[in-house]
Amino acid sequence: MKIRIGHLYPDLLNLYGDRGNIQCLKKRMQWRGIDAEVQEFQITDTISFLDLDIVLLGGGSDREQMLVCEKLKTIRQDFKEYVEDNGVVIAVCGGYQLLGHYYDTDDGRIEGLSLVDLYTEQGTPRLISNIVIQNDLFPYPIVGFENHGGRTFIGDNKPLGKVLFGYGNNETEKAEGVLYKNVIGTYLHGPLLPKNPHICDYLIKNALERKYGTSDLSPLDDEQELQANRYIVERFVK
């Protein structure tokens, strides 16, 4: 079995160690004897979504998002077809905002991909915090760090989790991220997947299921990762 991971624009969207997410995906597949190939795409490259099984869109500053936004218009249709065909996507922070219709900033509107029905508006202050969220779909809480000026509104979509500590999508809704088909959008970085192996395996399972119709993952020894996860939960959630 072989899974191809496409890393979109690592030169521009690589805040807060998003590369760690790629390493984690790769390692957890290799440890199970699954071939994992990573393809990095620069802004000038053509992307064949038909060849990809997992797409990672990382975080970027507002300036970098503005640069990427022009390019996104040209890949929007292919990316949309990939998502609607249950393609797996993990979009973090700036990448999460770009999944939506737009991100309104003081310097103007950054058009998004409109892959998921959501939008983002800049606000003050920046929302900076450790964060813990919970979703009954997953066996453990999801932990991470957030740092964003944007407030995201996901309408009727499902969030990735309910906020137990921190801010999440915005100050008022106590919800974090979005789950749409096989797409996860989230403000959590730090990076997300090494801190939350259960989310990493969720992505791998969905990619295998889509490609091979089967998704049996042999268990790995996650004792240390889960200890670290528990430590954060116990530190912040009373």
Position of tokens 């979504």?
49
**Residue from 104, 149, 97 nearest 127 by CA:** 149
77/59 Cα distance (integer angstroms) = 22
Residue nearest ligand GLN (C-beta atom): 59
**Residue 65 or 170 having the CB closest to ligand GLN:** 65
Residues 37-66 within binding reach of ligand GLN (CB under 6 A): 59-62, 65
Mask for 109-148, x = binds ligand GLN (CB under 6 A): --------------------------------------xx
Question: Binders of ligand GLN: how many residues, by CB under 6 A?
Answer: 12
Residue type present at position 76: R
Residues 214-233 within binding reach of ligand GLN (CB under 6 A): none
87, 141, 150, 191: which one contacts ligand GLN (CB under 6 A)? 150
69 is catalytic: no
93 is catalytic: yes
**DSSP secondary structure letter of residue 159:** P
- Distances in Å between the alpha carbon of 99 and those of 57, 58, 79, 211? 9, 11, 10, 23
> Which residues face 150 on adjacent strands?
122
Q: Does 77 bind ligand GLN (CB under 6 A)?
A: no
**Residue 43 or 220 having the CB closest to ligand GLN:** 43
Least distance CB 61 / ligand GLN (angstroms): 5
Q: Does 171 bind ligand GLN (CB under 6 A)?
A: no
- Distances in Å between the alpha carbon of 56 and those of 43, 116, 168? 14, 15, 20
142/24 Cα distance (integer angstroms) = 15
**DSSP secondary structure letter of residue 90:** E
Q: Does 190 bind ligand GLN (CB under 6 A)?
A: no
Least distance CB 78 / ligand GLN (angstroms): 24
* 3-state DSSP assignment of residue 94: helix
Least distance CB 125 / ligand GLN (angstroms): 11
8 A C-beta contact, residue 113 and residue 157: no
Q: Which residues make up the interface to ligand GLN (CB under 6 A)?
A: 15, 59-62, 65, 93-94, 147-150
Active site residues: 93, 189
